[in-house]
Chains A and B, each alone.
Chain A
Amino acid sequence: MTAAIPQQGSSALGFHPVPKGRRNSLFNLGWPYLLMLPTIALLVTFTLYPLVQGLMMAFFKRGVVVVPQVPSTLPQYVGFDNFLGLLSDADFQTSLVKTVAFVVIAVPLNIVASLALALLLSPQTRFFAVVRTIVFFPSMISLLIIGVSWRWLFGLNNGLVNYLLSLAGIAPVPWLEQDTMAQIAMIIAWVWAQAGFNMMIFIAGLTAISADYYEAASIDGTSKWRQFTHITLPLLRPTMAVVLVLSSIEAFKVYELVVSLTGGGPGKATVYLIQTIYDTAFQKPMQAGVAAAQSMVLFAILLLLTIVQLRLSRSQT
Chain B
Amino acid sequence: MQLRPRDYSGDDVRLLTASGLGILRGERVLFDAVSLEVAPGEAVVLRGANGAGKTTLLRVLAGLTRAETGEVSRTAPHHWVGHREGLKPHETPRAHLDLWARAWGAGADVDAILNEMGLSRPADVAARYLSAGQRRRTALARVLLDKRPVWLLDEPFTALDAEGRTRVLDMVAEHRQGGGAVVAAVHGEVGFIASREITL
Whether A and B are associated in the same complex: the answer reads no
